[in-house]
Amino acid sequence: MDLKQRRLIINADDFGLSPGVTAGILYAHQYGLVSSTTAMVNTSFSKDCLQEAKHYSYLGIGLHFVLDAGQPLSPSVPSLTDNKNNFLKGKDLVENAKGTDIKEELKRQLELLLSWGIDVTHIDSHHHMHLHIPGALEIVYEVAHDYKLPVRVFTNTTVTATVPRTDYFHFNFYGENNLTEEYLINMITNLDQGTSEIMCHPGFLDTWLTKTSSYQQMRMKEVEILVSNRIRKCLDEQNVQLVHYGGI
């Protein structure tokens, strides 16, 4: 294996979910290994959090397309919402979502992020909904192609569209069992040639997070691991280049 050919994106999901989550992501970027993040634009904290992110010029920022949390930006996407205009969740969303509504909401969220002066690097989605809703990935590809943006997909996702992607996507650095330095070191040591993404969810606790997410204490643990000198040393020893989606 030619180790020089290994590049790694460490992407922190949920930027803008709460002030604490945002602060944790920025800390893990400034003092650790987070090279990329994806932003939610439909929270009450989104705009202010993204203004803060502009101070971190080496942090890649993509869109964390939201279809199942909070409310849509679009005035009318009835197949995605309940009678209180909250996004549907789970099976209800998967079974009811229509492509026209998905496309409308995606473009609204993407255009809002761009209007805030963010040089958007790529698109992924909250809870990977663009990979679970039938037909959603094709719609995301269509929009991504128009905006010349890469899209996060699973490693084994068959891609027919000419949209950039990573070669490998690792989503198992998550949850109580896998959040150790040893687990992350093993992932990095065994990276294949090409560009890989490791997904993460660092953050600091705050009252808003405890009200909106069941994933709480583990975010703090992720921050601790992502700023570890052992992980940095492993990257250096393995000659793995840390990049973001703007570099693929």
**pLDDT tens digits for 4-48?**
589 999 999 999 999 999 999 999 999 999 999 999 999 999 999
DSSP for 128-167?
GGGGTSTTHHHHHHHHHHHHT--B---TT----S-----S
3-class state of residue 241 by DSSP: strand
Q: Is the pLDDT of residue 158 over 90?
A: no
Into how many domains does the chain fold?
Answer: 1
User: What's the CA gap between 192 and 166, in Å, rounded?
Assistant: 12
3-class state of residue 60 by DSSP: strand
Q: Is the pLDDT of residue 3 over 70?
A: no
* Residue 4: predicted pLDDT: 53
Q: Is the pLDDT of residue 1 over 50?
A: no
User: What's the CA gap between 219 and 222, in Å, rounded?
Assistant: 5
30: domain CATH number is 3.20.20.370
What domain range includes position 120?
A: 3-247
* Residue 5: predicted pLDDT: 87
- Give me 153's structure tokens: 């997909």
